[in-house]
Amino acid sequence: MRLPSALTAAAGMLAAAVTVAGCGDLGESAAAQGIARNDLISEVATQLGTAQTLTYSATYRLADGQTASIAQAQRPRRTALVHPGGRWIVTDDAVTTCVQQDRDLDCTITTRSEQSPTDPAASAAAAPSATAGPASGEPSAPGPSSAGPSAPGPSSAGPSAPGPSSGPSAPGPSSGPSAPGPSSGPSAPGPSSGPSASAAGAPPSSGTGGVDAEAVAEAARTGMIMPATVLALLNAAALDSDVDVEQHDTTIAGHHATCITLDRVVGGPIARFGACVTTEGALGSFTGVLDGKTVDVAMTHYSDRTDSDAFVPPRYARTVDHRNSER
């Protein structure tokens, strides 16, 4: 199961940041408060960015009526996402990817590299598929190294270079087969292929506006979007001076939340979406069309506590641990 790659959590701090006590005033229009549209987006992004420092668990209702849950703890930092198709668990030293197949849950544990992001959706992209087992997992790591032979490929053209000095061999290099040899499709894309680069711990590729394309695709596939992906979307929108912003306050699962709806977003993967962020900094809701699919999540429960069992595969899961073989 290929899952997405690294998402940055940078958000600009505002001089006119709204305190918790004054959150109710956000119900007024941004213009009435003298808050620029981009500042309002950055303000909500900053609020969502604080979620990275929280210890919490939250349950979300998805567009199809199913549920997903997020658990996060500090010291050590651990994050887990459970969605209808499986689960992801990211700790300081491991990434666990689980795939639900009928009544069976297959989990694969791999070593988390230093380059791996803390977001489970992004980190899981760097891990082998739970369904692929050792066959797909282990070879994928050396994937880029397999490009070794292709890299020297061009050097093999060395002999052909002096070739032209001999009369008969001059037309040799110009021959079609020898010239395209090093640039042949299979060898060139090899190292840049998603599986190989990710498995090697390389930073994930970013999509439009710095938003990770794999994270967006995974949100569309599972129906659950991670806070880090929403944060990246907000940061991208904050750079657009012509974006339309509507803002209102609401209560989600008993918690106050600031909501914004963005339209005519240029430079991001989607032109229109809405997001709500609670006073605590948790993602309250998100609505948008990603990769042609509607992603609509709404928090139904929030707690500032987590269960330690959330960060390990369930006992009933069929778990394969690749960490020893990776050393």
**248 lies in a domain?**
yes
In a domain, 177, yes or no: no
Q: What confidence tens digit (pLDDT) does each residue in 191-227 have?
A: 333 333 232 223 334 455 678 899 999 999 999 999 9
Is the Cβ–Cβ distance between 122 and 212 less than 8 Å? yes
Q: pLDDT at position 25, please?
A: 41
Residue 9 lies in a domain: no
In the chain, how many domains are there?
1
Residue 105: strand pairing partners:
100
Give the pLDDT confidence score for residue 119 in this predicted structure: 54
CATH number of the structural domain spanning residue 300:
2.50.20.10
Model pLDDT, residue 122: 54
Q: What is the pLDDT of residue 208?
A: 58
The reply to whether 165 falls in a domain is no
At 297 the pLDDT is 98
Q: What is the mean pLDDT of each run of 10 residues along the chain (327 residues)?
A: 36 29 39 65 95 96 97 95 95 93 93 62 49 37 39 42 42 43 39 31 46 91 95 93 93 97 91 97 97 96 95 94 78
* pLDDT reported for residue 206: 43
Say whether 52 sits in a helix, a strand or coil.
helix
- The pLDDT of residue 264 is 93
Q: What pLDDT does residue 38 have?
A: 84
Task: Give the pLDDT of residue 197.
Answer: 29
Within a domain: 1: no
151 CB contacts (<8 Å, ≥6 apart)? Answer: none
**Residue ranges of the alpha helices (H) in the chain?**
37-49, 120-124, 133-140, 143-150, 152-155, 171-174, 194-199, 213-222, 227-238, 323-326
Position 185 in a domain = no
- Contact between residue 219 and residue 297 where contact means Cβ atoms under 8 Å apart: no
Residue ranges making up the domain that contains 212: 26-144+190-326
230: tokens are: 């929403």
Residue 149 covered by a domain: no
What's residue 314's pLDDT? Answer: 93
From residue 118, how far is each of 5, 70, 92, 232, 292 by CA, in Å? 10, 13, 8, 14, 27
97: in domain: yes
The residues, ordered by sequence, that sit 6+ positions from 302 with a Cβ below 8 Å of its Cβ are 56, 57, 58, 59, 253, 254, 255, 278, 280, 282
